[in-house]
Amino acid sequence: MRKTRLKLFEKKKNGKPTALVFVDFEYMQISFKKRYGVQPPILDWYRSLCADYDVRELYVFADFSNEAMKRNLPVLRQITDNIIETQNTASHHKKDFTDFFLLDRIYQKAFENNRAQTYILFTGDGHFGAVSRFLIKNCHKDVVINGVEGNISGTLKSQVTRVVEYPGEDRVKELYYPYIARQIKDLTTGRHAQRLLTPGRVSAACIEHQKLHADILEDAMTAMLNEGYLVYKEVWVSSLKRTRVLTCDFEKMKADGFYQED
């Protein structure tokens, strides 16, 4: 796995600020599902992170006995070996248990007197305000919060160097592209294939089967039409009548990295 990771995300020493990264993956996974109805785009986020920082170490924390978390492990292993299982057998305060592991590792790294300039925390939890103040005041580090829009504590925002809301508005729409393409594939293959697809039929199927959010879905489909990923074509429905149907340019989507065959 290490060879694969280095090939995918080779980091060059080019003056980028050095960083240690700590991911509250329970927050990440739950926030993306609630806010956008999708799984977190882990590799995309990591690429954007490495574009701005020389990432020295990255730690991921979650209770991976939870099936929703566990399904993301193969992707997480592409970016780090530092995956910390925080399973707690107690019936209460499971999220606080993950926070404890995360805080403990942050303080450990701070006391190691490492040379990383920046501590990046993917979380929105106000519990991390105290450690952020400690890192800034006592260790003279920059603290950058990565979090999901609308799900970052205002108190936490006020106590860190910088806040980055991920993903941005345009990227949110792009997160829906693969889901829409797969739904079109499902609708046009198999025993119950539909020949005459319309935007309304595709949208309804995405909402019903994939639980995508209607407002983002509408914007994403409009963007896909404008960018040529969704295309209208005319087909004959009888010897005398033609109608327009919605199709997907799967080859263009694959070429641009938005779609992969299962």
Is the pLDDT reported for residue 5 higher than 50? no
Is the pLDDT reported for residue 16 higher than 60? yes
Identify whether residues 176 and 85 lie together within a single domain: no
Tell me, yes or no, whether 18 lies in a domain: yes
Identify whether residues 220 and 159 lie together within a single domain: no
User: If you average pLDDT over every residue of the chain, what do you get?
Assistant: 88
CATH number (domain holding residue 232): 1.10.10
Pairwise CA distance, residues 222 & 245, whole Å: 15
Find the radius of gyration of the CA atoms of the chain: 22
Could you give the residue ranges of the DSSP H alpha helices within 78-234?
A: 94-111, 129-137, 154-157, 169-187, 199-210, 214-226
Identify whether residues 190 and 160 lie together within a single domain: no
pLDDT mean over 35-53: 93
CATH number (domain holding residue 90): 3.40.50.1010
Predicted confidence (pLDDT) per residue in 206-258, tens digit: 999 989 999 999 999 999 999 999 999 887 767 777 788 899 999 999 999 89
Which of 140, 167, 194 is the last residue in one of the domains? 167
pLDDT mean over 164-176: 90
Tell me, yes or no, whether 262 lies in a domain: no
Q: Indicate the range of 35-39, 118-122, 236-240 predicted with least confidence.
A: 236-240
Identify whether residues 157 and 180 lie together within a single domain: no
pLDDT mean over 181-200: 86
Identify whether residues 140 and 182 lie together within a single domain: no
How many CA atoms are closer than 13 Å to the CA of 212, on its beta-carbon side?
Answer: 28
Range of the domain at 199: 170-255
pLDDT mean over 125-148: 96
Give the total number of structural domains in the chain.
2
Tell me, yes or no, whether 251 lies in a domain: yes
